[in-house]
Amino acid sequence: MLGPTWYGYATAHSVAAAEGAARALTAADLDALAELHRQTAPDEVDESGTDGLPAFGVFHSGRLVAVACLKAWHEMPTIGVLTHPSERGRGLARQVVAAAARAGLEQRPQAQYRALHQHRASIAVGRGCGFLHYADACVIDLAAADR
């Protein structure tokens, strides 16, 4: 079972302004993303959905310390986020999520953010960026039960 999961949605009117040092990542930054993944617990990396471009990141001393990737789920811009464990609690996730949300809202009038209920800090990031709670869900992976 996956979840329960918190789902929130934002519009251009509700999403926070993209402030701080977040910038769009390029293909040249993918090595820095891979390094962030190596320095973070594998289950957190998997849950984050931060595996490619387009993405927005914050760097400190040349090291990627926070990233938000913009994906699409049924054409809905969806955001995944990951912050280096030693850099959490500094507002970096909000910077990258807001930047990704703004980019997603250029494609569609709403963007989606989701987080497992156990990740209270991640839900706080979504709320802090202007994502309004819409629903909770659980997913049961029946194929995994057969393995």
Averaged confidence pLDDT in the chain = 93
2-146 CATH choice from 3.40.50.300, 3.40.630.30, 3.30.530.20, 3.40.50.720:
3.40.630.30
Tell me phi and psi for residue 118, to 5 degrees.
-70, -15
* 2 — pLDDT class (breaks 50, 70, 90): confident
**Structural domain spans, the chain:** 2-146
Q: What pTM, to 2 d.p., does this model score? A: 0.91
Q: Tens of pLDDT along 16-65?
A: 887 888 999 999 999 999 999 999 999 999 989 999 999 999 999 999 99
- pLDDT at 1 exceeding the cut of 90: no
The SS3 call for residue 87 is: helix
